[in-house]
Amino acid sequence: MPVRQITTASLAGLRSLALLFAASAALLALAPSGSACLQTTTPGAYTTVRVIVTDKGITMSATRGPRGSTAIFLLYNHATKSRVVAVGDASLKHLRGTGFAVKLAKNERKRVLVYLTYRGPLPVAVGDAAKTHVKGVFIVT
């Protein structure tokens, strides 16, 4: 077998190739990773709030929810008459128009989704169609 001699030209080519490889490896190590942080791609959280209306008052399973999440209000009317349940401000006249008002017939159930946009208290009022009374507070943290 013939033996090849290594010339200075081929040795210089190997050095430049090794230098190029080392430089590209260093740049790849310093570059930020392609995966994003978990907080940027995860969807908002869901908070389930069960509101049970009786003749004596209301019961809420959760009284707090984080801002930016979606609250799922599961409304149950176990009262003897129809009731109106209002959470937050259902009017569009105020800047804080986060909320809803729902009329529930006797033994009726409804599900309402609310996106919690601002921090602060959302009053929970229950009554008949003519008059409601504040019975509790749901706080957006």
Task: Let me know if residue 8 belongs to a domain.
Answer: no
CATH number of the domain that residue 125 is part of: 2.60.40.420
Task: Let me know if residue 136 belongs to a domain.
Answer: yes
Please list the residues that pair with 141 across neighbouring strands: none
Task: Let me know if residue 123 belongs to a domain.
Answer: yes
Predicted model pTM: 0.65
Q: How many domains does the chain have?
A: 1
Task: Let me know if residue 98 belongs to a domain.
Answer: yes
Q: Is 10 or 127 the better-scoring residue by pLDDT?
A: 127
Structural domain including 124 reads: 44-140
Q: Which of 30-38's residues contact partners 24+ apart within 8 Å by CB, and which partners?
A: none
Task: Let me know if residue 92 belongs to a domain.
Answer: yes
Q: Write the pLDDT tens digit of every residue in 74-115.
A: 999 999 999 999 998 876 566 556 888 999 999 999 999 998
